[in-house]
A and B are shown apart, each in its own frame.
Chain A
């Protein structure tokens, strides 16, 4: 029975993808319902299996055999343990809410069946990713979510900018995938297995030579930087906002971008082999988080603010990975899924209500016309700012605390600096989120037309997520870390207690909110003075730290130059040249041999006689 349920988790959305497209072609209104029902089936099975986890450590099921050659057997096997359970609950739970929301958001779009088919395909791929028992199976899901992300970013493909944003995401992810493949090759070479359970066994990990272990760890992190948008591969994520807003909420905030964290947690044994790898992860994460937070301050597009904030929060998760607090990182994945999906969906409602306006400078005062959306955006803003007792407070606080207790020898002496920097980023986060809230919902309306509240089918899922952003942390915090102690290494217990702890822990968030409120509402003149002093900072922030430009010069230009060399020089001389040479030889041979055709009967007769004589000589038995 468990086996069938486990298989159904993956198969239901796959069937849903086909069904919502096929039936959607006949009756477009059906497609959203079918897709949501498929995810609901998945969610139901996840919950029932999760209930059964107490009695049993894990479930596994072989969907079918896949690769088998010589002594290598690689079945399509899925595996359900506590870590997969947490990810599956987030993917199907938040996924279902976003599916319901999409029914309202996409109600007027012509190609709804295609949209819901892609969305369901994404859910199926994501579930394969988190359920895969061996790295190649995870890789199927990994590529599947990449493909769906590409398809959904470029969903409105008639706009060339959107299509090229999809292509950019795809290509940047490909760089990360290279790391994944390299890691798989090394691990198979050293351990002789790609099973994730075997690869967390210290006896098997001891077979990896130290230099290979270092490369494998770095390669896995490269894979994670691609999928989870870390430096230097993060620029695709803000561009990915070209997709419909529910896609941004589902793929580019709640689920797919956290796949990198999941991979790190699953492969924690390999990542931690060489202490230099976590140190590199931590510094990269810190830089990414800081850069993205600073860029977010100067963005005017509401979705861009949220996109950079996602990059920044992903950096926060990697901070926890870097100090070895994997379950803390997972905790932030969960709470972030709640509040960031809520923020994106509220932003979607705002965009929907303001007739596809995304620029916050042409919003304002929406609290009156869309009170429910304002309420949920506000709750999620407090959650991401880390104000107690909202969800984000607990996970952020746990990350900040875990930074102080790192056993890593390369990080030991820097823990003070790292902690301060992370706190500064937390202040930044609260500041830019409050800014976006003020610009969108407070003051007076600066746009044209009449903004209106979203329909029930959209507000209900958003309010539910807002409730989770408010209470999720409080409920989960006491049990979460202990729950994941089986599949993940244990973390130190946190002192989260008491009103005083709450106030001190919320201090960075409160400071950021107050600063934004002062600058944008209380004393607007001060804002202009600050801008004058920090004009160069504003330039850098508005220019997005010129990461795209730096990549353009350092990576893209050389590659393009190389391709010019290859096409103009190598292709001309080698390929074309060799073609010309082969052609020339056959032409010369032809010129020579055609002289045999004299047009004279007597020559032909001679040839006939000569050939006949030769044949007789060869084949006649009598010599």
Chain B
């Protein structure tokens, strides 16, 4: 087996762990970390594919993902802070007023 394929395997594992965490956990910061983990799994896959195909397209995509992840974390943490101020909690189950 090509050693590069094992990088894809790790990316898969990381993505799945992140996804499962997103489904099961309630703490907003943990959810946030799960999203970061999934993003990084995708980054890893991009780099691996870049290596396989022998060009830099994937690596350029990684830079975009990292920039957007940075912006996302800034906004996301701000939202979490705002939620904590109004609800004194960052459990997502406590902030469910906007459903029907």
Contacts and interface: CB of A to CB of B under 8 A. Distances in A.
Nearest to B22: A605
B97 to A, nearest CB: 7
B73 interface: no
Interface string B59-100: 000000000000000000000000000000000110011111
B31 interface: yes
A64 interface: no
A602 B97 contact: no
A609 B92 contact: no
Contacts of B96: 598-600
Contacts of A599: 96-99
Nearest to B26: A602
Interface of B: 19, 22-26, 31, 92-93, 96-100
A606 B23 contact: yes
Most buried by B among A597, A598, A605, A609: A605
A609 B18 CA distance: 12
Query: Which 8 pairs from chain A and chain B are nearest by CB?
Result: A599-B96, A599-B99, A594-B100, A601-B92, A605-B22, A597-B99, A602-B23, A605-B23
Interface of A: 594, 597-602, 605-606, 609
Nearest to B24: A602
Contacts of A609: 19, 23
Nearest to A591: B100
A601 B99 CA distance: 11
A524 B97 CA distance: 98
Nearest to B93: A600
A605 B98 contact: no
A598 B24 contact: no
B86 to A, nearest CB: 15
B92 to A, nearest CB: 5
Nearest to B96: A599
Contacts of A606: 23
A602 B100 CA distance: 17
A594 B97 CA distance: 14
Most buried by B among A597, A598, A599: A599
Contacts of B24: 602
B100 A597 contact: yes
Contacts of A598: 96, 99
A600 B92 CA distance: 7
13 contacts: A594-B100, A597-B99, A598-B99, A599-B96, A599-B97, A600-B92, A601-B22, A601-B92, A602-B22, A602-B92, A605-B22, A605-B23, A609-B23
A600 B93 CA distance: 6
Nearest to B25: A602
Contacts of A594: 100
A599 B23 CA distance: 13
Contacts of B97: 599
A601 B19 CA distance: 12
A609 B22 CA distance: 11
Contacts of B100: 594, 597
A606 B22 CA distance: 9
B7 to A, nearest CB: 20
A597 B93 CA distance: 13
B59 to A, nearest CB: 25
Given A594-B100, A601-B92, A602-B25, 4 more contacts: A598-B99, A599-B99, A600-B96, A601-B31
Nearest to B34: A605
A9 B93 CA distance: 87
Contacts of A601: 22, 31, 92
Contacts of B31: 601
B20 to A, nearest CB: 10
A601 B98 CA distance: 12
Contacts of B25: 602
A594 B100 CA distance: 7
A299 to B, nearest CB: 75
A598 B98 CA distance: 10
B25 to A, nearest CB: 8
Nearest to A603: B23
A609 B23 CA distance: 10
Contacts of B98: 599
A601 B96 CA distance: 9
Nearest to A590: B100
Most buried by B among A600, A602, A606: A602
A602 B26 CA distance: 8
A277 B19 CA distance: 91
B99 to A, nearest CB: 3
A609 B98 CA distance: 22
Contacts of B92: 600-602
Contacts of A597: 99-100
Nearest to A593: B100
A177 B24 CA distance: 78
A592 B26 CA distance: 26
Nearest to B95: A599
